[in-house]
Amino acid sequence: MGHTLIEKIIMNNTGLETVSPGQIVTTKVDRVMIHDIFIPFVAEKFKEMGFSKVWDPDKVVLIYDHMVPTSTVEDVRHFQIGDAFAREQGLTHVHRTDGICHQLMPEMGYAAPGQVVFGTDSHTTTYGAVGCFSSGIGYTEMAAILGTGELWVRVPETIRIEINGELPANVSAKDIILRILGDLRADGATYKALEFGGSTVEGLSVASRLTMSNMSVECGAKCALVAPDEKTAAFSKVSMDQIAWIHPDPDAKYEKVLHYNAADLVPVLACPSQVDNIHPVSELVGTKLDEVFIGSCTNGRLEDLAAAAQALESKTVAPGLRLIVTPASRSIYREAVKAGYIETLVKAGAIVTQPGCGLCCGRAGGILAEGETVLATNNRNFLGRMGPSSVKIYLASPATAAASAAAGKIVMPE
């Protein structure tokens, strides 16, 4: 019997000739990512477990992104502990204000096709877009990896998602994954692998695939994979010969297969206050907005800023509305400046911030007040995430968000 993408990657990593869903295996970890929120707890647990030396300092990436810039005095303590741990362990990959962890990991080649990567954040599933088995873990598991270089996992069942055909002009990867989340529901893929395929997925950019893998954790997925192709090879700076083995077998066994016709997809929103509460944008047209946020590890990439700039060309942000734009990384910020996107957005009235997690994780730069409504491109709309629990959070694509910023209310993307 053939194997799915996740099974192929686990077999390659462990040296096993075959694996099956439910089997417990021990993986040899290729890379780990720790961000600033978790580093104090990881460092403490690492020493509590009796470890003194990280198994391979070159395989550890420490990224300051959630607390950049600091918004409370306590934040500084996280930086101090992180810096001390990096010096003590001789960590060679430490990023300060370079961008959001889930952008930097694939962008800088830390997470590459065929690898096994774990991170102290649930949206570590993002890297599956380049054919990498990546998943979020807690600080106890991370401390164990730092000391041993290994982590046991249960081989997950796989849900295959086939999307074929050409997307309508106003539908993006964000609309696709939101529609899927609405169908699977919040617990529909708990500890399962999502495997995306079909002509539509093949036609998507790597950036768009990252968006889909990023949000797959919102239905409980352990990982979310796309088979690497020439686009992946170019993005990850590897040859196709190196990664040709990373593909599902024709006779792979899936728990189930979902089929979508791209032409049937429409712009959608995740409505308050669950990510799987999905409705067409057309049903919410006219909803008054106080703020629009474009950014995060879900939609802060160059193509997202391009879509926002296009929607706001020769327009201005509606009176009384705040538009906040956050590039996902420093390199994306630079490219957006060169392309003129940042100038267009600033002329329209946007506030452009430094790369980081900021508003998405509810820490800084745009927190809303009681009873306000925000339309955002990030990945979660839970109660209290971007302000008081009375704040209503709608999630949408960059095109929908930017068009709505100009209108001051939810509108269809042009």
* Domain-located, residue 366: yes
Residue-range definition of the domain harbouring residue 132: 23-153
Look over the chain and give the mean of its residue pLDDT values, rounded to a whole number: 97
What pLDDT was estimated at residue 2?
96
Q: What is the pLDDT of residues 14-50, one digit of tens each?
A: 999 999 999 999 999 999 999 999 999 999 999 999 9
137 and 191 share one domain: no
Number of domains the chain is built from: 3
The predicted structure's pLDDT at residue 364:
76
Domain with residue 382: its CATH number is 3.30.499.10
- Residue 365: its pLDDT value, please? 81
> Does the residue 61 lie in any domain?
yes
Of 265, 286, 319, at which residue does a domain stop?
A: 265
Query: In this structure, are 120 and 87 located in the same domain?
Result: yes
Regarding whether 149 and 27 lie in a shared domain, the answer is: yes
Residues 281, 340 share a domain: yes
Of the three residues 212, 242, 265, the one that is the final residue of a domain is: 265
* pTM, two decimal places: 0.96
Using one digit for the tens of pLDDT, what is the confidence trace for 287-329? 999 999 999 999 999 999 999 999 999 999 999 999 999 999 9
- Pairing between β-strand 223-226 and β-strand 256-261 as defined by DSSP bridges: unpaired
Q: Do residues 360 and 378 both lie within one domain? A: yes
Report if residue 16 sits inside a domain: no
Judgement on whether residues 213 and 302 belong to the same structural domain of the protein:
no
Query: Which domain-ending residue is among 265, 281, 314?
Result: 265
Q: Which pLDDT band holds residue 360 (cuts at 50, 70, 90)? A: confident
| 27 and 141 belong to one structural domain | yes
For 49-106, the pLDDT digits (tens) are: 999 999 999 999 999 999 998 888 889 999 999 999 999 999 999 999 899 999 999 9
What per-residue confidence (pLDDT) applies to 15?
Answer: 98
pLDDT at 289: 98
91 plus 144 within the same structural domain: yes
280 with 256, same domain: the answer is no
The Cα 243–Cα 347 span in angstroms is: 44
Average pLDDT score over residue span 382-389: 92
Structural domain contains residue 396:
yes
10 part of a folded domain: no
Q: In which band, very low, low, confident or very high, does the pLDDT at 182 lie, cut at 50, 70 and 90?
A: very high
Q: Is residue 64 part of a domain?
A: yes
The three-state DSSP-derived secondary structure of the chain is CECCHHHHHHHHHHCCCCCCCCCEEEEECCEEEEECCCHHHHHHHHHHCCCCCCCCHHHEEEEECCCCCCCCHHHHHHHHHHHHHHHHHCCCEEEECCECHHHHHHHCCCCCCCCEEEECCHHHHHHHHHCCEEEECCHHHHHHHHHHCEEEEECCCEEEEEEECCCCCCCCHHHHHHHHHHHHCCCCCCCCEEEEECHHHHHCCHHHHHHHHHHHHHHCCCEEEECCCHHHHHHHCCCHHHHCCCCCCCCECCCEEEEEEHHHCCCEEECCCCCCCEEEHHHHCCCECCEEEEEHHHHCCHHHHHHHHHHHCCCCCCCCCEEEEECCEHHHHHHHHHHCHHHHHHHHCCEECCCCCHHHHCCCCCCCCCCCEEEECCCCCCCCCCCCCCCEEEECCHHHHHHHHHHCECCCCC
Tell me the C-alpha distance between 378 and 298, whole Å: 6
Phi, psi of 102 (to 5 degrees): -75, -10
117 within a domain of the structure (yes/no): yes
Residue 90 lies in a domain: yes
Question: 172 with 239, same domain?
Answer: yes
Q: Is residue 183 located within the same domain as residue 204?
A: yes
Same domain, 81 and 174: no
